[in-house]
Structure 1
Amino acid sequence: MSKALLIIDMQTMPFVWKDYGGKALYKEEKLITNTKHLIEKARKSGAPVCYIMFTEPEGSPRAENQPLWKVHEHISPLPQDLIIIKHYADSFLKSGLHDRLQAHGVDTLVMCGLQTEFCVDATVTSGYSHGYQVELVKDCHSTYDADGLTAEQIIDHHNRILIQFADVIPSDQVEFQ
């Protein structure tokens, strides 16, 4: 079994949205800390680390290579890491992700990132549909409060329903060997 770590949309914009009148990410510091530990585990074992980068059209502050598009500074990629540019919630859709993972012999995906109810959900179910064993790290994905639901409720709900497509496990139990 060969695992890869998928870090979904952990870019600058979601972390600074609160500074521009938006909402704060739920437990963002814990999200960064847990993601850093997953990256360390993956790199130590030689597992591929894949940064999935949501990208908007040119001219947008979230366009490729713009400051808000870049990976959060505390979890920056290294030259050997895979960078996957995507334009849809599903990280597999028209991104080349599946081919890149297959080239590395990956059959199991450890997933973390943003946003729980959008890109994380879509990528978990798509990964399953592409034939991968999927592990969703239950304390390493996040979102914002929404109308009628807190971020904590959204995360808990997705951790419960995504067990149809993934093993939902805490970050301290993730193994890459």
Structure 2
Amino acid sequence: MKTALLIIDVQNGMFTVNPPVCKGNALLKRIKRALGFAKNKNIPIIYVQHSGPKDSPLEKGTMGWNFHEDISPADGDIIVHKDTPDSFYRTNLQQKLRELNIDHLVLTGIQTEACIDTTCRRGFSLDFKITILTDAHSTFDKKEISAAQIISHHNEVLRWFADTITTDDFINE
């Protein structure tokens, strides 16, 4: 199988809102480790960048829209732009994956219950093998449920569509 690492919506605006994404520093460290591993193994890296509406934390062209400096794309990395939770919908992601003969996607990023969940399920439906790094995606606390509970719940539910492993397991495979 030919694998690609997807880094979804790890943009400045997710870290500057109040409160910021849950355990943001730990998230960045894990994604950075997965990114380093992917580069060492010549695994293609695809950044997905969300464009939010005007005056949102991810408004296109603002500092919040830019990728977080700790994991910014390098020359040769692919950037896919989206404006919905689905990284495939009205984007060139599937075309890029087919051009590279990718059939296995490793998902990291933000937001667990939106973009990670939707991209996982859609990728599965498009016949990609999906792996989610269980400790390399995050979200925000909600009024009635914590970010940790959302992440735990999705790691459990998405096992129907993906292999769920830690960053360490991915790096040590």
Q: Report the TM-score, using the length of structure 2 for normalisation.
A: 0.95
Structure 1 residue 79, shift from structure 2 partner: 1.4
Number of the residue aligned with 2:152? 156
- Aligned with 1:111: secondary structure? strand
Q: Deviations over 1:54-107 (max 9, x none)?
A: 013567663333211000011110010000000110000011100001101100
Number of the residue aligned with 2:16? 16
> Does the 8 Å contact 1:53/1:83 carry over to 2?
yes
d(CA) in 2 for partners of 1:57, 1:156: 29
Q: Deviations over 1:121-142 (max 9, x none)?
A: 0000011011100000000000
Number of the residue aligned with 1:77? 73
d(CA) in 2 for partners of 1:72, 1:17: 13
Query: 2:109 matched to 1:113?
Result: yes
CA RMSD in angstroms, aligned pairs only: 1.6
d(CA) in 2 for partners of 1:122, 1:112: 13
Equivalences, count: 173
Change (3 A) 1:176 1:83: farther
> Does the 8 Å contact 1:12/1:70 carry over to 2?
yes
Unaligned stretches of 5+ residues in structure 2: none
Structure 1 residue 157, shift from structure 2 partner: 0.2
> Does the 8 Å contact 2:107/2:120 carry over to 1?
yes
Query: 2:82 matched to 1:53?
Result: no
1:39 to 28, 35, 38: 35
> Does the 8 Å contact 1:50/1:84 carry over to 2?
yes
Unaligned stretches of 5+ residues in structure 1: none
- Aligned with 2:63: secondary structure? coil
**Identity over aligned residues, as a percent?**
36
> Does the 8 Å contact 2:5/2:43 carry over to 1?
yes
- The one-letter code matched in structure 1 to 2:3 is K
d(CA) in 1 for partners of 2:53, 2:140: 24
